[in-house]
Amino acid sequence: MKKIENAFEHLLFNSRWLLAPVYLGLVVAMGILLFKFGKQVWLLLSKLGNATDAEIIIGVLSLVDIALVMSLLIIIILSSYENFVSKMDDLHGHQDRPEWMGHIGFSDLKIKLIGSIVAISGIELLKAFMNVDNLSDRHMAWMVGIHMTFVVSGVLYAVMDRLSHR
């Protein structure tokens, strides 16, 4: 019976490698976002001569939005891989290794994720405010409500996390 238990536990432990293709998929998603970023830069440059200030600001906010999502993906990919799949031992001495690698736990990752979602939602809301003439009051109310839900959820999660660490 102990042999079966050990085999089962090894199977469960090794199942963590099923996450590796998921992280590879997120790397592919970053490539797609990079393509979208390049397309957005090209669009912004092509409109530069006759674009309004609001269109330029919205274009730049879109670039910032993509950059935040890509940064969030890097944090998720690297820290989740190290937390759930395998340590990146060969990279410990690498000069470009981010300081946070290996130090972000699951709880810290969730806080960063919620913070990034709030920032991305804020950028989307700012873009909507820049284009307020083309949106209905109902649409704007939903956007503000959703953003505030993210903000309140983030604050509540941070408070719960802080209380649990005491």
The amino acid present at 2, given as its one-letter code, is K
Amino acid at 128: A
And the tokens for 126? 């700012």
Residues 6 or more apart from 154 whose CB is under 8 A from it?
111, 114, 115, 117, 118
3-state secondary structure labels for all residues of 51-115: CCHHHHHHHHHHHHHHHHHHHHHHHHHHHHHHHHHCCCHHHCCCCCCCCCCCCCCHHHHHHHHHH
Question: Do 40 and 127 meet the contact criterion of CB atoms below 8 Å apart?
Answer: no
Assigned token pair, 124:
């989307």
What pLDDT does 4 receive? 93
Is pTM beyond 0.85? Reply is no
144: left (phi over 0), alpha (psi -120 to 50) or beta: alpha
Would you kindly state where each structural domain of the chain is located, as residue ranges?
13-165
Walk along the chain (166 residues) and give the pLDDT tens digit of each residue: 889 999 999 999 999 999 999 999 999 999 999 999 999 999 999 988 888 888 888 889 899 999 989 988 988 898 888 888 888 777 667 777 776 666 676 777 778 888 888 888 888 888 888 878 888 889 889 989 999 999 999 899 888 888 887 7
